[in-house]
Amino acid sequence: MSDLGVTCPSREVIEAAAAGAPDSRGTLVHAQECALCGAVLAEISADIALLDSVKTVVRSGGRSMGLPMSGDTLGGYKILDVIHQGGQGIVYRAHHEATKRDVALKVLLGGGFATKDQVARFRREAELVAHLDHPGIVTIYDSGVDESGQAYLVMELVEGQDLATWVSEEREKRGVREIIELFIGICDAVRHAHQRGVIHRDLKPSNIMINRDDHARVLDFGIAKVMRGDDNPDAEATGVTREGEFVGTFLYASPEQVTSGSAMVDVRTDVYAIGMMLYEALAGRRAYELKGGIAEVVRTIKQAPIDAPSEFDPRVDHEVDTISLKALTKDPARRYETVGALGEDLRRYLHGDPIEAKRDSKAYVFRKIAWKHRISIGIATAFVIVLIGSTIVSTVALIKATNANKASNANTQTIIESIVDTTLGTLVSSDQRVATIEDMLDVQERSYRAAPGIPPKSKAAILRALGVSNLDRGRYEESLGLFESVLAFYEGGIIGDEVAHAEALFDLGRVHWRRAEFELAEGFYERTLAMRRELYGEEHPDVAMTLHHLGSTLTQLGRYAEAESLLKQAFGIREHVLDRDDPEIDSTLNSLVVCLREQSKYREAIERAEELLERLIARNGADDWRVGRMRHNFGMNLADIGEYEGAEKELRAALENKMAWRGAEHIDTARTLCQLARVHLDRWEWEGESIDTGEVIGWCESAIGVQREVLDPLHPDLVGTRVQMIRALLAAGEPHAALEQAQSLLAEQIVSYSAEGRWQVGKTRCLIGLCMGAMGRHQEAVRIAKQGERGVREAPDARDRERWAAMRRVGAVCRAAGDIACAERYLSEAGKVFGERAG
Amino acid sequence: MYDSTRTTTELLDGLHEEGNERAWERFDERYRPLVIAFSMKLGLNDADAADVAQETMVRFLREYRAGKYVRGKGRLRSWLIGIAKYRIADIRTKGAVDRRVARGDSAFVDLSSNQTLTGVWDEQQQALVLEEAVSRLRTGTRASAKTVEAFELLVVRGMAPAAVAERLEMTVHDVYVAKSRCAKKLREIVDELEQAYDDAGVAG
């Protein structure tokens, strides 16, 4: 009721009246007399003034004007909502009634911003991308111009975030390998575009979308350039950008892009931009900052030196540094020649193969190959064995091919002789062995593909043999192409051989696995499994092998429970159908141990590891180097659950083995020394036992000496040993020396790690707390230990064991400070954290 | 997107820190579009306007860090206009004929009149604030999609209330209610954005 004694109209009614709704006169009269309603009307009038200015701004060329809004239909697409509004265009989520699918619909912003150039680029994007068909490139479904002249582009809708957001939110949490996997996907997509003559020229984080499965999609080919032949720009296409005009984003622009104009731009420009994004993802910062006017910006891009990413993130190692810096070389001639080459090097790194960026150093290549094959009888021998192995694989496969079709006997015989001759010739005559065998495979492949008259079955077998050789050589791209060609023979119905068909599917699974494309691998293994079960039933070695590979793939995908079940099936079949000593059984056991450990099923993992160790000893003898490696891992697992006696026994045996195979000055040996020290120090710290501190300090000194020679100061192995040294000094009653070392470690960690929040930093703080406590500085000790424990607890990647240790340490420091309640609280929490899981 | 939670004054404080990229990004996001819009209003094409903005922003940062611009002693607007106008004048001199043809009268705005330039600046700032407010209304408020649609059809597109009601299957009364709610929300957003510019200074 108003003060006039009548019922006031609702606010909505006043709104309607103010906006001129019919039959509102009574309301307006009332508002003039009623103070309350008068105030509401005044407010509405003010709104009207505001809304008029909105209308004026928006209609007089405001950038939002003329754009579709939700509910509108454009070319048969119903606009749902806005996904992204950038400087040039706006992207909506839209629904296509006819196909019932949601899409992304992009339109250009209107007003003075839509220049003729922009409209031309926009239309050309549709034409260019229509020719690209790759899972890493956003698919363009449709494009057109509506009756009002609004051009639009309809694309696949990617649910996820752009690379810039992904990097800022995820890079700290993700490992270097995950970052590299993501960039391999980006390289594959851009490479696909290059192979079809399209250079993107504006690759930047906002043009890369990452979906929820961590797969990258490249978009926005608005300023892409078309090549014809090797390097000839399409005259019509480049006309879109005026000669000499810079197009693209300065931050990701290559030196040649900001100086020479579009005519000099080739695929290496995209290599540079990907290199720049990779650098940011690895280092957590830009390779250089752009400051000053245009001239200074150009000078920076052309001349600024770039520090290695590892300078800013210690997780990055020298090989990744090398790859990233090679992609960012100022001189395009020294950069990776293609995006494919960059992607392949990233793949090689993931698989532990020698990277091309370091091919210049022969010593590096030899070292890498020897390391990968774990053969410690001399680098030269290792190399010869690898070569012979490769030849044998090729030859055996070719002999199979020959037998498969006697009619082509003459041809295949020539091929085998050719391979054997060339390889043997290579072995005795050349320094450039790696390059030679690869070149040879290229020549062979070309001649087989071209060779007329070879029956399809033989041709498929020969291509497969070459695929296997390439796979062994780490040439996954080539291998993939060959295996795909082989599969085409079977899928296309040219050859009807189900056994070989299943094998072709399996090969593709393997090559995708090696390329770390686990989801693709899963698909091929699934198909292989179904086919082989159909062919052989359950109890067959090939079925077991497929189960094993599928299980290992699911482990990689983090689907541990499914993986465990498959691996156990594979193990069961293999135990049943293979010889007891067959190494395939070891392989499945090993995969099972890894899978169990990932699920914190420590006890079962240890049981299986023990079983595996027994098998390795039975087959290879107790002195075999593989046994040494397994003993080390086994010992470490036993120490994790507090079985120190067994752990020490295994680690001492591992040490003996490694001293024999690797020698005292090898990082593998150092790693075992560190673990041995750790076991002794665990007994001292957690069990209260007395230990020979002189011996433990000696181990630590010896290990640190070796590790400092070859590892970065903050390499996890070296940090691990430095931590043991601090504990050893504490155990020896030298808290001052221990504190000095701990403080030095903490300072290095804080300076080098890009952010706090690493559990390693928290651990060092806990140790500093212990040192201070031992020196009687209780108050400081409690404060810093608690700070450290909090750091460990909150770090997402800290293992249970580390959380437990941090709590126990705070408990110990509190007890020493006389705060028994605090001590009991932390010790009881510690029991909850690890006690349950370890069991 | 504007970061409305931090005023220009706070962002400027952040710029003093050498490594504070976030403050710079926010500051850049807020003022770069304004310098571009300002330059275009003065007759430049989008590419030239983007160059002017790049140089203005970078030079401002350098001068600010060198202590040449003191927040309490003058408006940021005047300082940025002071940097931008010489770049604009250079470009206009070089390409005067083309631009008169291309852009019409705006090429003749007198660059020597501070009052005129300030007027253009404020007008562009107001326009950007309103555009941003509308954009936020669409994407960043709790108002239902239908409410915002009704508002846009009625106010931005100027559709008749009855037509809006029919299209959205609402009553005419509800269309007014929707408009009222959105206007209220819009005012709040505009106030918030204007406060974020926070450019009173001491002397104009």
* C-alpha to C-alpha distance for A70 and A188, rounded to whole angstroms: 36
Which residues of B fall within a CB distance of 8 Å from A59? 156
- Could you tell me the maximum CA-CA distance found in chain B, to the nearest angstrom? 61
| Buried-state track B153-167, b at ≥16 Cβ within 10 A, e below 16 | bbbbbebebeebbee
- Boundaries of domain holding B165: 8-197
* C-alpha to C-alpha distance for A260 and A244, rounded to whole angstroms: 7
Same fold, A73-156 and A163-358: no
* C-alpha to C-alpha distance for A201 and A190, rounded to whole angstroms: 11
Task: Please say if the pLDDT value at position A572 is more than 50.
Answer: yes
Question: In which order are the strands placed within the sheet that holds A101-108?
Answer: A73-74, A77-85, A89-96, A101-108, A151-156, A140-145
Domain A734-839, CATH 1.25.40.10 — does that match?
Answer: yes
Structural domains of chain B, count: 1
| Assigned CATH for A73-156 | 3.30.200.20
CA A503 to chain centre: 29
On whether residue B204 sits in a domain, the answer given is no
Q: Give the residue with greater pLDDT, A693 vs A426.
A: A693
- Which one of B46, B149, B186 has the shortest CB-CB distance to A54? B186
The alpha carbon of residue A292 is apart from the nearest alpha carbon of chain B, in Å, by: 5
Per-residue tokens: A731: 């155990």
The alpha carbon of residue B28 is apart from the nearest alpha carbon of chain A, in Å, by: 13
In the CATH hierarchy, which fold is given to the domain comprising A618-732? 1.25.40
A276 burial type by CB count under 10 A (0-12 exposed, 13-18 middle, 19+ buried): buried
On whether residue B203 sits in a domain, the answer given is no
pLDDT in tens, chain B (204 residues): 344 446 677 777 777 766 666 777 778 888 888 898 898 888 787 778 888 888 888 888 888 877 777 766 677 888 888 888 888 887 777 655 344 444 444 445 566 677 788 888 888 888 888 888 887 887 666 667 788 888 888 887 778 888 888 888 888 878 878 888 888 888 888 888 888 777 644 332
> Which of B98, B179, B185 to probe by mutation at the A interface, max A CB count within 10 Å?
B179
On whether residue B2 sits in a domain, the answer given is no
* C-alpha to C-alpha distance for A497 and A95, rounded to whole angstroms: 45
Task: Please say if the pLDDT value at position A232 is more than 70.
Answer: no
* C-alpha to C-alpha distance for B92 and B104, rounded to whole angstroms: 13
The SS3 call for residue A107 is strand
On whether residue B3 sits in a domain, the answer given is no
Superfamily of domain A497-599: Tetratricopeptide repeat domain (1.25.40.10)
- Which one of B131, B148, B172 has the shortest CB-CB distance to A64? B131
Which residues of A fall within a CB distance of 8 Å from B134? 54, 58, 64
B102–A contact, CB cutoff 8 A: no
On whether residue B83 sits in a domain, the answer given is yes
Task: Please say if the pLDDT value at position A258 is more than 90.
Answer: no
Which residue is it, tokens 């005419």?
B172
What residues does each domain of chain A span? 11-59, 73-156, 163-358, 361-478, 497-599, 618-732, 734-839
Tens-digit pLDDT profile for residues A453-490: 567 787 788 788 888 877 776 677 888 888 988 898 88
The contact set of A with B (CB < 8 A) is 11-13, 15-16, 19, 21, 44, 46-47, 50-51, 53-55, 57-59, 62-65, 69-71, 81-82, 85, 112-113, 115, 245, 250, 291-294, 296-297
* C-alpha to C-alpha distance for A309 and A287, rounded to whole angstroms: 8
Structure letter (DSSP) for residue A711: S
CB–CB contact B127 A57 (8 Å):
yes
Among chain B residues, CA nearest to A84? B139
* C-alpha to C-alpha distance for A321 and A668, rounded to whole angstroms: 23
* C-alpha to C-alpha distance for B141 and B152, rounded to whole angstroms: 14
- Write down the ipTM of this complex: 0.75
The mean pLDDT of chain A is 77
CA nearest to A669, candidates A645, A643, A699, A647: A699
CA nearest to A113, candidates A67, A78, A165, A79: A67
CB–CB contact B135 A294 (8 Å):
no
CB–CB contact A19 B156 (8 Å):
no
* C-alpha to C-alpha distance for B114 and B131, rounded to whole angstroms: 25
Which residues of A fall within a CB distance of 8 Å from B173? 12-13, 16, 21
Beta carbons of A603 and A568 less than 8 angstroms apart: no
In the CATH hierarchy, which fold is given to the domain comprising A163-358? Transferase(Phosphotransferase); domain 1 (1.10.510)
Task: Please say if the pLDDT value at position A448 is more than 60.
Answer: no
Structure letter (DSSP) for residue A262: G
Phi (first) and psi of residue A94, to 5 degrees: -140, 165
* Secondary structure element (H or E) that encloses residue A105, with its range: strand A101-108
